[in-house]
Amino acid sequence: MNPRLTTPEIAWLGAGSAVALLLGLSATIASAAVADSEQSRAAARIITHIAGQLASLGSCASADPPNAVAYRAAATNYHADDAVKTASDMAEKILAEDARRLGRSDQQSADAESQSEAAVSESLHRAATADPGRFVAECRDELQHSASHTGSFAPLDDLFPYEMKLLRSSGSAP
Average pLDDT over residues 70-88: 95
Question: Do the domain assignments include residue 64?
Answer: yes
Q: Is residue 146 part of a domain?
A: yes
Instruction: Kindly state whether residue 174 falls inside one of the protein's structural domains.
Output: no
Please provide the average confidence, as pLDDT, over all residues in the chain: 78
pLDDT value of position 27:
37
pLDDT in tens, 118-152: 787 788 888 888 999 999 999 999 999 999 999 99
Domain assignment present for residue 149? The answer is yes
How far is CA 81 from each of CA 43, 84, 105, 174, rounded to the nearest angstrom? 18, 5, 32, 15
* 2 found inside a domain: no
Phi and psi based region of residue 37 (left: phi greater than 0; alpha: psi -120 to 50; beta: remaining): beta
Residue 3 lies in a domain: no
Q: Domain containing 153: what range?
A: 8-169
Question: Which of 62, 56, 46 shows the shortest CA–CA distance to 156?
Answer: 46
**End-to-end CA, the chain:** 13
Look at phi and psi of residue 112 and say left if phi exceeds 0, alpha if psi is from -120 to 50, else beta. alpha
The verdict on residue 1 lying in a domain is: no
The per-residue pLDDT for 12 is 36
Domain count across the chain: 1
Query: pLDDT tens digits for 98-108?
Result: 888 888 877 78
Are 74 and 147 within 8 A, CB to CB? yes
- The answer to the question of residue 115 being in a domain is yes
Q: What pLDDT is stored for residue 173 in this prediction? A: 54
